[in-house]
A and B are shown apart, each in its own frame.
Chain A
């Protein structure tokens, strides 16, 4: 099953997107966005994987040990940090939306409808 990790990332992206579209609660919607973004972690790590190789950490193993790609792991770290900041910002906006409209249902945020 060499396609399985890629399939998992596709599934995470779509299931998160479905959650965003069908959401009735802003907190739920924000967590769905986090699910969408987690698909990129799976994809990045899957691209850098090499069968049988270890982590790119040579603290206790000889330098010639096969290791996976460290670049995608560093990118995933960036990805995680960015996601946490995005979630924090959106939750702050959700708090303010609840204060203004008294609801967390995106359907009822009438005055910001496009």
Chain B
């Protein structure tokens, strides 16, 4: 199919689709007049039921915790799939990390980038840990904090320290961290069953509303999800780095 025909086909079908989409969204309640029952009920009962001041976190990790467990395993499966897709193939070989173009010397980053980059690593790690551990109190949680944590090795790469980045996030350690994080969520769910409740029931003491050690199992799940997300993203990033920096086609070198 030529480009022209494809674009004409898209414009016709896209216009029809747009009309259906607008028609469907016109049937929604007007913007700002939310009428659904669940949000209203949860806003009034969730804090007292779960002792977590962030209702989004108690919905994510408690009320619909089983769905979030599966969602976490979507990420786990994607990391495995990326690792599989980007494996070293028969006609590829490993080489010491260097720039793609032969003979090109990579300029050292400027002092400003080096200083700001390296000095923000520790604050970024601290912020990540804060966001992970306070997910049940304020906006944040395992997914958001985990991504922040995964940016710390990225900062080290940005200042030109690829080897240091690999040294602070060795693949074997990151893989173990990912597995522990993924398993932690399930272990919390199974612990509830051992305690005599249904899978993923919030069975721990709920604590005082607003304190760090409150909301029962929520902080435990947040931490294990944070570990899984941080390690998962680090693995995905290191796979992409290997592709450009360490793996070479045998043909390309001839």
**Residues in A lying within 8 Å of B, measured CB to CB:** 2-7, 9-10, 13-14, 17-18, 21-22, 43, 46-51, 55-59, 63, 66-74, 77-78, 80-82, 85-86, 88-89, 91-93, 95-96, 99, 107
Contacts and interface: CB of A to CB of B under 8 A. Distances in A.
Given A21-B7, A50-B32, A85-B74, A78 B85 contact: no
Interface string B44-81: 10111000011110011000100110010011001101
Given A5-B31, A56-B43, A21 B10 contact: yes
A14 B56 contact: no
A70 B62 CA distance: 13
A18 to B, nearest CB: 7
B21 interface: yes
A68 B226 CA distance: 26
Interface stretch (B100-108, B114-122, B153-161, B236-244): B236-244
A84 B143 CA distance: 11
8 contacts: A3-B25, A21-B6, A50-B33, A57-B138, A69-B36, A77-B143, A81-B75, A92-B86
A88 B22 CA distance: 31
Chain B interface residue bracket vs A: 35 or more
Most chain-B Cβ atoms within 10 A of its Cβ — which of A2, A13, A67, A88?
A88
Contact of B14 (A6, A14, A43, A82): A14
Contacts of B67: 78
A59 B34 CA distance: 23
A21 B44 CA distance: 46
A17 B47 CA distance: 41
A49 B43 CA distance: 13
B227 interface: no
Main secondary structure of the interface of B (DSSP, over half): helix
B47 A63 contact: yes
Contacts of B39: 48, 56, 68-72
B17 interface: yes
A9 B18 CA distance: 11
Given A9-B25, A58-B47, A63-B44, A92 B55 contact: no
B74 A10 contact: no
Interface string B120-160: 00000000000000000111010100000000000000000
Contacts of A46: 31
A10 B20 CA distance: 10
Nearest to B86: A92
A35 B53 CA distance: 32
B59 A71 contact: yes
Contact of A95 (B34, B55, B86): B86
Contacts of B75: 81, 85
B253 interface: no
Contacts of B54: 56-57, 59
A63 B50 CA distance: 13
B82 interface: yes
